[in-house]
Amino acid sequence: MNREQKIAEILEKHSTGHYNYSYEVRDAIRFLLDELEQTRKESNMLREELHKFQELAIKAANHHKAERDKLIEGLRWYADKTNYVQEVHHLRHGTLIGPAEAIYYDEGQRARDILHEIGVTVE
C-alpha cells in the first residue's frame, strides 16, 4: 500500500470510527509519526538547499554590482567634459604644450584598465 492510500485509509477509519483500537490505532500512529519524521527531514533538506542558493545569489549579485560600479566609473570618466580638454605638458621637457584632449592621450587605457579589473580581456 502506498503512502496516499495508507493516509486515506486512516482518515476513513477515523471519520467512521471503525478502528480496532488496540492494533490499528497504534499502527496508524506509528505510520503517521514516520511520515511526519520523513516530511521534517525533507523540509530540512529543502531549507538547506534554499539557503545555499540564497548565498550563491547574494555572492553573484555582489560580484555583478562591483563590475557594474567599475563600468560606471569608466563611463563617467569618458563622459566628463573636463577630460576632453586640459593643459598637457611635454613629457620630455616638462613644458606646457597647450590644451589637448586628455582622452586623446589616454588612447582608451582607462577603459582597458577597468575591463582588466573586472576580468575582461581586451586586445
Average pLDDT, the chain: 79
Q: Is the pLDDT of residue 13 over 60?
A: yes
Q: What's the pLDDT score for residue 96?
A: 53
Q: Give per-residue pLDDT as tens, 56-93.
A: 999 999 999 998 998 888 888 777 767 666 565 555 56
Cβ pair 77, 69 in contact under 8 A: no
